[in-house]
Amino acid sequence: MAGIAVSTIINGDKAEFLCHADETLLDVLRDRLGLMGVKEGCGTGDCGACSIILDDRLVCSCLVLGAEAEARRIETVEGMAQGDKLHPLQQKFLEHAALQCGICTPGFLIAAKDLLAKNPDPTEEEIRFGLAGNLCRCTGYDKIVRAVQDAASVMRGA
Amino acid sequence: MRYVRPSTLEDAVGLLAEASGKAAVLAGGSDLLVRMKGGFVEPELIIDIKAIDALGHITESDEGFVIGAAVPCAVLSENAALRGAWPGVVEGANLIGSKQVQGRCTIVGNLCNASPAADSVPALVAAGAKVLIRGPAGSRTIAVETVPVGPGRTSLAPGEIIEAILLDRRQPRSGDAYQRFTPRTEMDIAVVSAAVNLTLDDQGVVQSARVALGAAAPTVLLVEEAAKILVGSRVDDRTLDRLAEACSGACRPIDDKRGTVEFRRKVAGVLAKRVALTAYQRAGQK
């Protein structure tokens, strides 16, 4: 079966791939492009583990077809650190022990990045609502919320 | 399966009408992809309508708002003019799923998925929204409440696509509101929901009203009897009690683990009272 040729920008770099019409962007990112940071949890948009930023908008990559990525910009967790320097959110997740098994963590980091891009100084309630689409069954949410609050203050230069 | 991305609505309608097998329209995909994954639908053709420019915008004119079929719900809440004019409609759209889902899902998709519990639909019905439909026979405009005809079923003819949702220009001294009951605040489906839209005269008396209930029957309910109770009132306690009674009486809900018939009837009345008060307060501020 001939694939659909898709040209896109992933984490600032041009990327091209062939995919089937019924293949999700989540499957393309993991299986064809080797970006294993996107995790498959539920596959139905309920858990947020496969979160990416698509043209400045947070989405579940399991609810996007690979073919839809044509001429669009994708951000994944792999694009967060600059070389060896972690993104403030990644650094603060480590410092606050805001992760245990780690399956949900890339989705939380991406969702938090999108949240802080749109609202640099969120209240605790805004953080909790902003991350409600991401499920964590290990560490609970308090440490994650504290890590996001701390990262937000670092990113604001406070 | 084939994936196509037409750039005009005419092409999309043509593709849908000419499809030999099962064809599906893709906008947000938050229902379609889940149904495909679950094996409930297996379309031979997917028509992605997001490249059709006019469908991706919200436009405001003297007549009101035109919300294109491919506009994600997140964009509704970012539109200050729409939020100011129709806060209840935006509230409904903002309750669908999570931030991730709102980045994709559309109110037209929510409508066409035809779930009795669709969060954006009661507020659209209360708002008197219309839908602009394009099909092989041309264009037509119908009331939003006539689109769903049962769970998962719509009145759209084969080959028809909803192009946009139309909301009237807001009259002065008007307000609308939507609330639902769910066990948790986010990422949940309405057990029962209510929307009220009303306009006051210059004395603060309700001049016109529309009341809608969600998850209370196989399709969203427009409760005309409840609207009549609001008209002529200042939304006082006695009116609210009668409103609640009318709404509870109009319900024809299911009985399941998420809520009994009795519970849903009671909560429909309670929510109708709350949203009527909020709509009344909002109308008084404008």
Q: What is the pLDDT of residue A2?
A: 72
**Total number of residues shown for chain B:** 286
Q: Is the Cβ pair B187, A22 closer than 8 Å?
A: no
A158 has pLDDT over 70: no
- Closest-CA residue of B relative to A22 is B1
Which chain B residues are closer than 8 Å to A46 by Cβ?
A: 187
Question: Are the C-beta atoms of B13 and B161 separated by less than 8 Å?
Answer: yes
Q: Please choose, from the candidates B181, B257, B176, the residue with its C-alpha nearest in 3D space to the C-alpha of residue B216.
A: B181
Of A46, A63, A129, the CB nearest to B29: A63
| pLDDT confidence band for B185 (50 / 70 / 90) | confident
DSSP calls for B229-263 = HHTTS---HHHHHHHHHHHHHH-----BTTB-HHH
Question: How much is the average pLDDT of A65-90?
Answer: 97
Reported as a single tens digit per residue, the pLDDT across B22-63 is 999 999 999 999 999 999 999 999 999 999 999 999 999 999
Chain A interface mutation, best of B75, B78, B99, B101, highest count of A Cβ atoms under 10 Å: B99
Question: How much is the average pLDDT of A45-65?
Answer: 97
User: Is the pTM here over 0.80, yes or no?
Assistant: yes
- H or E stretch including B48? strand B45-48
Q: Is the Cβ pair A65, B100 closer than 8 Å?
A: no
Which chain B residues are closer than 8 Å to A22 by Cβ?
A: 1, 3, 36
DSSP reduced 3-state for A2: coil
Of A22, A46, A67, the CB nearest to B36: A22
**Which residues, numbered 39 to 68 in chain A, qualify as contacts with chain B under a Cβ-Cβ cut-off of 8 Å?**
43-46, 48, 51, 54, 57-60, 62-65, 67-68
Chain B interface mutation, best of A6, A63, A119, A131, highest count of B Cβ atoms under 10 Å: A63
| pLDDT confidence band for B187 (50 / 70 / 90) | confident
Q: Could you give the CA distance from residue A7 to residue A4 in angstroms, rounded to a whole number?
A: 10
Which chain A residues are closer than 8 Å to B74 by Cβ?
A: 57
Which chain A residues are closer than 8 Å to B48 by Cβ?
A: 65, 67-68
Q: Is the Cβ pair A20, B1 closer than 8 Å?
A: yes
- Closest-CA residue of B relative to A126 is B99
Q: What is the pLDDT of residue B286?
A: 66
Q: Is the Cβ pair A63, B3 closer than 8 Å?
A: no
Task: Spell out where chain A has E strands.
Answer: 4-10, 13-19, 51-54, 57-60, 73-75
Number of H helices, E strands in chain B: 11, 14
**Total number of residues shown for chain A:** 158
Reported as a single tens digit per residue, the pLDDT across B139-182 is 999 999 999 999 999 999 999 999 999 999 999 999 999 999 99
Q: Is the Cβ pair B50, A68 closer than 8 Å?
A: yes
Which chain B residues are closer than 8 Å to A115 by Cβ?
A: 99
- Closest-CA residue of B relative to A135 is B187
Provide the percentage of residues in chain B whose pLDDT is more than 70. Answer: 100
The CA–CA distances, whole Å, from B107 to A70, B27, B40, B158, B267 equal 24, 10, 22, 20, 25
Q: What are phi and psi of B59, to 5 degrees?
A: -120, 145
Q: What is the pLDDT of residue B153?
A: 96
| pLDDT confidence band for A100 (50 / 70 / 90) | very high
DSSP reduced 3-state for A19: strand
Q: What is the pLDDT of residue B261?
A: 96
Question: How much is the average pLDDT of B265-278?
Answer: 98
Q: What is the pLDDT of residue B186?
A: 79
Q: What is the pLDDT of residue A125?
A: 96
Q: Is the Cβ pair A63, B26 closer than 8 Å?
A: no
Residue the block writes with tokens 């750039």 = B7
A33 has pLDDT over 60: yes
- Closest-CA residue of B relative to A4 is B3
Q: What is the pLDDT of residue A111?
A: 98
Residues 6+ apart with CB under 8 A from A142: none
Alpha helices in A45-121 (DSSP H): 88-95, 105-118
Q: Could you give the CA distance from residue A104 to residue B100 in angstroms, rounded to a whole number?
A: 14
Which chain B residues are closer than 8 Å to A21 by Cβ?
A: 1-3, 46
Q: What is the pLDDT of residue B260?
A: 95
Which chain A residues are closer than 8 Å to B33 by Cβ?
A: 24, 45, 62-65
Task: Work out how many CB contacts closer than 8 A connect A with B.
Answer: 85
Q: Which of A96-110, B62-76, B173-187 has the lowest mean pLDDT?
A: B173-187
Structure tokens at B265: 């009837």
Across chain B, mean pLDDT equals 96
Q: Could you give the CA distance from residue B75 to residue B57 in angstroms, rounded to a whole number?
A: 9
Is the ipTM higher than 0.90? The answer is: yes
